[in-house]
Amino acid sequence: MTDELLVERDGPVAILTLNRPDRMNAITAPMLDALSREIVAADRDRDVRVIVLTGAGRGFCAGLDLKDAASGQGIGSGQGVGSVVQKFDLRDAPPMVLHNCDTPTVCALNGAAAGYGMDLALGCDIRIAADTAKIAAAFTRRGVLPESGGTWLMPRLLGWAKAAELAFTGRTLMADQCLELGLVNQVVPADQLMETTRALAAEIAGNAPLAVQATKRMMRMAMDETFEANVHHVFLQLLPLFRSQDFKEGLAAFIEKRDPKFEGR
């Protein structure tokens, strides 16, 4: 365990907070290890219906801790790279577990997201940004590339040309620019960020969790398969949903003109 990642439960919502505010939540190996474990644990927990990822203090995540790397310690140094490679199978790294997670993920982008932090934010399903937030694709300015999902995510979110411009120049985008490009879903005043995020998470959590998870799973698969293949996969997902208690509850609530109470069964 590490105090570099805070875990909170708000009913069916799990809130994971990167917790190195004095270093703008720059990443460390213990932080990555904890983040992977907690995402997997939340995804497996039947009582968790939404995962929120955010940062403590005024930044979301500054990416690689360059001070540690420059001093020969931590990720990015020779010693750090070796330890991370030995510790992590890439299938267990945060970008992979985030991508494969069936539980909806929402990023509450409370401040700057740079490098690895940008990739983490873009890896979430939905992003709510504070008006003070910004995204910095600073990889090429540091002699590296978007190593944690960015080369896959950016072209799909932005289209090839816009993604190429952002990645090759290493520019920083302010919150309103991110909204204009579609990198975030909405921008809100900083002091309303968590209230807005919790409200959205509660709205998602109020729907049938098996159906929400199946929808996300099919959307993810559709990114790499034909329309015909996806239609067939969706049909196979639909059959068990028809037999679920939640489907019966959804129909009953509609007929009785009341809000449904889904149990994920």
pLDDT score at 73? 53
**Same domain? 146 vs 171:** yes
Distance in angstroms (rounded) separating the CA atoms of residues 198 and 150: 26
**Same domain? 97 vs 109:** yes
**Same domain? 239 vs 183:** no
Residue 218 within a domain: yes
**Same domain? 113 vs 142:** yes
The set of long-range contacts for 187-194, using a CB threshold of 8 Å and a minimum separation of 24, is 187/129, 187/130, 187/131, 187/133, 188/128, 188/129, 188/130, 188/131, 189/130, 189/131, 190/110, 190/130, 190/131, 190/132, 193/54, 193/108, 193/109, 193/110, 193/128, 193/129, 193/130, 194/54, 194/108
**Same domain? 221 vs 127:** no
**Same domain? 223 vs 186:** no
**Same domain? 155 vs 142:** yes
Residue 262 within a domain: no
Report percent pLDDT > 70 for the chain: 91
Segments forming the whole domain that contains residue 116: 5-205
Residue 261 within a domain: no
pLDDT score at 87? 52
Residue 75 within a domain: yes
**Same domain? 220 vs 239:** yes
Distance in angstroms (rounded) separating the CA atoms of residues 209 and 214: 8
Q: Which residues pair with 9 in a beta bridge?
A: 14
**Which residue type sits at 65?**
D
Which tens digit of pLDDT belongs to each residue from 74-123? 555 455 444 444 455 677 888 899 999 999 999 999 999 999 999 999 99
**Same domain? 57 vs 168:** yes
Which tens digit of pLDDT belongs to each residue from 56-71? 999 999 997 766 554 5
**Same domain? 71 vs 12:** yes
Q: What is the pTM of this model?
A: 0.90
CB 165 within 8 A of CB 131: no
Domain count, the chain: 2
Kindly state the tokens that stand for 129: 């940004």
**Same domain? 58 vs 174:** yes
**Same domain? 168 vs 252:** no
